[in-house]
Amino acid sequence: MKLVLSLLVIMFAFTTINAAAFDQSAGSTPELVAENKYVCSKPLKYTDSDGSIKEDQVFFIFEKLTYRNLKFWKDYTKQQKAGAALKDSENPELKLSEKISEGLDPLIFSLRLCPTNFFAATYQYLFGGQKSYDIWMSYSTRKDPITTSINNDDIEMVMSGFAKHGCPFTSHVGISRNYLFCLPEAMPHKEMAMQQHASAVVAVAQIYGSGVQSHMITRPTPLMAGLMAKKLVSGKSVWINCDMAYAQRTYFIYTPPHTHDRFPLDNRDRDTWKLAVSKDDVRTFPRPLWFPHDGYTGMSGEHKTLGNPGGVFGGAELVAVSAPALSDIWYRPVE
């Protein structure tokens, strides 16, 4: 009798654990499905053509960018530009080219940093000044990538990410929604951008170690910065309009106690925050992410303050996000 009761207790505990581990309303743990390719999924809502709110499973793929898949992504960006331009010529009020270029242009910049062949990749690894970072493509689709081949039209959103072993942060560059999902008749998923960022952070933590990747650094569009300020706690899990300084041979990404009039009062930065970053880490990542302009905007002895950049990132603000906070968004059901 005691043995039977013990077995029942064990079975109940196992069932409870599995129910929590495989919560169908939350994001799944990234699974390695091929070399340098991870897949996870999460149910997301969308508005159907009849106006009703529906939900389906969205798959998020995290795939390392190499010379082997570089052509696919170059062709994808060209197709996006051409397709959006064609639709705009048919209906100028759509302004699709304008909508997608804000994220697509930085994404194209990331592609240019990838070696184009085996010899170039080997040379960069052995002698390149940026040899130690990895470039990843993070993209989403309604189709199961394990059982179905994915083409350009199946991709709903894509962005690039930079990471390396031992670095305390990862960086996201160029998040862009497929122009087909910007059409009036399209049915895009809600909360897509935040889930794209969150799924990528979860994948990076699995690959490089959650203890190492403590923050995600990016220069988001003003719309995305506002969404981050709304979904996260400013001054606690997201720091908007950061500055960068160099002192005592160390770079500091920091935010002074300041306010942002365009964000709600309760989402203004409340505390000074600072992340020390080694010179090697800063120089390892693509320079335009940090300073895509010439020179410094201010100097004071050994302390040099870098202003907001222009160029390919359009003067976007430097933003730091807590990686655990993004992971929490991924593993939490969408409301």
Are the beta carbons of 290 and 282 closer than 8 angstroms? yes
Residue 199 structural domain: 25-330
Helices (H), the chain: 2-21, 70-90, 96-112, 118-127, 192-208, 222-231, 279-284, 287-290, 323-330
In a domain, 280, yes or no: yes
Can you say how many angstroms the Cα of residue 77 is from the centroid of all Cα atoms in its chain? 17
In a domain, 6, yes or no: no
In a domain, 134, yes or no: yes
AA identity, residue 283:
R
Task: List 329's β-bridge partners, or say none.
Answer: none
**Helical packing angle, 222-231 and 192-208, nearest 10°:** 80
What are the CA-CA distances from residue 29 to residues 150, 155, 255 (Å)?
21, 20, 32
Domain count, the chain: 1
Are the beta carbons of 201 and 292 closer than 8 angstroms? no
In a domain, 138, yes or no: yes
Three-state SS for 84?
A: helix
Three-state SS for 301?
A: coil
Nearest CA-CA partner of 166 in 286, 272, 285, 31: 285
Q: How many CB atoms lie within 10 A of CB 94?
A: 17
Nearest CA-CA partner of 39 in 30, 50, 28: 30
Q: Which two tokens stand for residue 173?
A: 């560059």
In a domain, 9, yes or no: no
Nearest CA-CA partner of 42 in 177, 148, 156, 183: 156
CA distance 215 to 219: 13
In a domain, 39, yes or no: yes
CA distance 4 to 301: 75
pTM of the model: 0.79
Three-state SS for 142?
A: coil
In a domain, 11, yes or no: no
Can you say how many angstroms the Cα of residue 259 is from the centroid of all Cα atoms in its chain? 25
The owner of tokens 């040899």 is 131
CA distance 319 to 310: 15
CA distance 230 to 225: 9
Q: Give pLDDT tens digits along the chain (335 positions).
A: 555 444 444 444 333 333 333 446 788 999 999 999 999 999 999 999 888 999 999 999 999 999 999 999 999 999 999 999 999 999 999 999 988 888 888 888 889 888 777 767 776 666 655 446 889 999 999 999 999 999 999 999 999 998 888 778 888 888 999 999 999 999 999 889 999 999 999 999 999 887 677 888 888 877 888 888 888 887 778 887 777 666 666 667 766 654 443 433 334 444 456 777 776 666 666 554 554 332 222 222 222 333 333 334 445 677 888 899 999 999 998 87
Q: How many CB atoms lie within 10 A of CB 129?
A: 9
In a domain, 12, yes or no: no
Half-sphere exposure (Cβ direction) of 77: Cα atoms closer than 13 Å: 23
Are the beta carbons of 111 and 137 closer than 8 angstroms? no
